[in-house]
Structure 1
Amino acid sequence: MSFVKAILDLAIQIQQIPAPTFGEGPRAEFLRDLFAKEKLEDVSMDSLGNVFARLAGKQKKARALIVSAHSDTVFPAGTRLEIKREAGKVFGPGLGDNSIGVAALFGIVWGIRERKIELKRDIWFVANVGEEGLGDLRGMRGVVERFGSEALGYLVLEGLAFGHVYHRAIGVRRYRITAKTRGGHSWSDYGNPSAVHELAAMVAQLTQMRLPREPRTTLNVGVIQGGTGVNVLAAEASCELDLRSEDPAALAKIISQVEETILHWNREGIKFQAEIIGERPAGEIPADHPMVQLALECVQEQGVEATLTSGSTDANIPLSKNIPAVVMGITTGGGAHTVNEFIDVEPIGKGMGSLLRFVEGVGGRMKDEG
């Protein structure tokens, strides 16, 4: 079996085990057993569901490289996880984000052994929970807390990111906004406030806010719900709001504007509440950092142009604590977070080649001081 086929087959195996955020348990147990079969050391699972395994390096006192991939998906339990293949692509919900990333953890182990790469330092492989949605990076928060200053840095794997190197973490603030009224009958109580109408009007006002293009700043209402019937003045309605920016100051400004807007919608007969349901801290390492430069070189060695970029990923947590971290990918594809998600097969070999060069090179490029 070819190296690429083995990784792809494992990715499909992983993808077939449902793993919605907060429901990663069965997939985590599968991965723990796989790490054990690979005869890695210190295989364990923590109380969150993060799975750990260590591949020993030559220098026992050197700080370890942490290589992680999130095991959760955005798809709720019950989603059809059908796999389809056509013209160099494989389709399947969650296959690119992030089953191929998790499979790459094992691909790195196989590649190190096959190429007889001598590691200068330990590598910890981590399949972590809670990256998506309301998981709020809880898995990676636990990982970073566990390793603390013992980590040299983090290589975070995102399945569809090949050709990009993330070194800047976008700050994110998420709210659940709830509107409440007395409610009533759509005919006899007409003229009284409806929570659905009030919330919709408030959301429309939010979407009219002028956001800066530079630094890039975004606002999105991704979920809205409420009411109990077509002829009922809704007593309650809610939405979930996502705010992002490359710049902490710009994010703080839009947060202030949003909170002020929500406050002003409160009046007699209508009450608005805003609950923070997620917060992803910003952070970055400079483009000339040795880890960033190594990641760029490793991608470019595969004959692929490498682009520096920013994003909201598990890397937010170490970067926010001034711990070096980069995100690299395994392949390309599209349709992420939809049932039509797909990966391209051909780039997998190059993506894995770049990751193997990175874990081999980081031992010589990165120093243990500070």
Structure 2
Amino acid sequence: MRVVGKKAHAGVCPEKGINALTVAAKAITQLPMGRVDEETTCNIGVVQGGSATNVVMGEVEMQFEARSFDRVKLEKLIEQVKTEFQTVCQANGAIFEETLSYGTPGYAIDDQNALLIVSFQKACKKQGVSYQGAACGGGSNTNVYRMRGINAVNLSTNMKNIHSTDESIAEADLHQMLEILLSLVEEFTN
């Protein structure tokens, strides 16, 4: 998404400018960022703009994403974001531009019917591990595989603090996952 304002000298005539970052911030504060509900998230993860400290920021580009397990909620949220930015930009003399598109779709698997899940449950049981299916708001290669018709599923390695500087996986958990995967291979080769 991009907000286009108007550059001006920040020390000589800032009133002649339209600060694109300020306009974008006004729109952002009206939106539900972060966890919207139990199925939906909204985030602006990258913001870039400006050319110098003595220039009113003429434009700002943002990378936005929204995710939801409910397609209707997702579409409604995306429209809300676009409408809010358009409204705030218009009220402040700025222009809103967007090239939003849908990314890789999510997927759902029935724990009782999917051959891969039932086999994984057996492999977990063989290793004395309690299977627990769960919804995840993250993306992975599995999304791409399934989109292309390949039966795949994410297997958790019990990661902690994902995408942070404290991200970790216990060595014991990796060894346990290896044993489960070996049991899964046995399940498919027998």
Relative to the length of structure 2, the TM-score reads 0.82
Counterpart position of 1:328: 155
Q: 2:26 aligns with which of 162, 179, 201?
A: 201
Counterpart position of 1:305: 130
| Relative contact order, higher structure (CA 8 A, sep 6+) | 1
Deviations 1:251-307 (A, max 9, x none): 222122222223323427411111236601122221112211111222233222222
Counterpart position of 1:236: 59
Question: How many positions carry a matched residue from both structures?
Answer: 185
- Aligned-residue sequence identity (percent) comes to 24
Please say if residues 181 and 236 of structure 1, whose CA atoms lie closer than 8 Å, have aligned partners that are also in contact. Answer: yes
What is the correspondence of 1:1-370 to structure 2 with a 5 Å cutoff?
Answer: 177-187=1-11, 188-190=13-15, 192-207=17-32, 211-213=36-38, 216-267=39-90, 269-276=93-100, 279-288=103-112, 289-311=114-136, 312-320=139-147, 323-329=150-156, 331-363=157-189
Structure 1 unaligned residues grouped into runs of 5+ = 1-176, 365-370
Deviates most, 303-312 or 242-251: 303-312
Distance 2:189 2:69 in 1: 30
- Residue 223 of structure 1 and its aligned partner are, at CA, apart by 1.5
Please say if residues 283 and 322 of structure 1, whose CA atoms lie closer than 8 Å, have aligned partners that are also in contact. Answer: no
Structure 2 unaligned residues grouped into runs of 5+ = none
Distance 1:189 1:332 in 2: 52
Secondary structure in structure 2 of the residue aligned to 1:225: strand
Deviations 1:175-199 (A, max 9, x none): xx11112211224132642011111
Distance 1:255 1:359 in 2: 42
Per residue, is there more strand in 1 or in 2? 1
Amino acid at match of 1:304: V
Deviations 1:301-347 (A, max 9, x none): 32222221233211112334554221114x43423323433221112
- Residue 355 of structure 1 and its aligned partner are, at CA, apart by 0.7
- Residue 246 of structure 1 and its aligned partner are, at CA, apart by 1.3
- Residue 209 of structure 1 and its aligned partner are, at CA, apart by 9.6
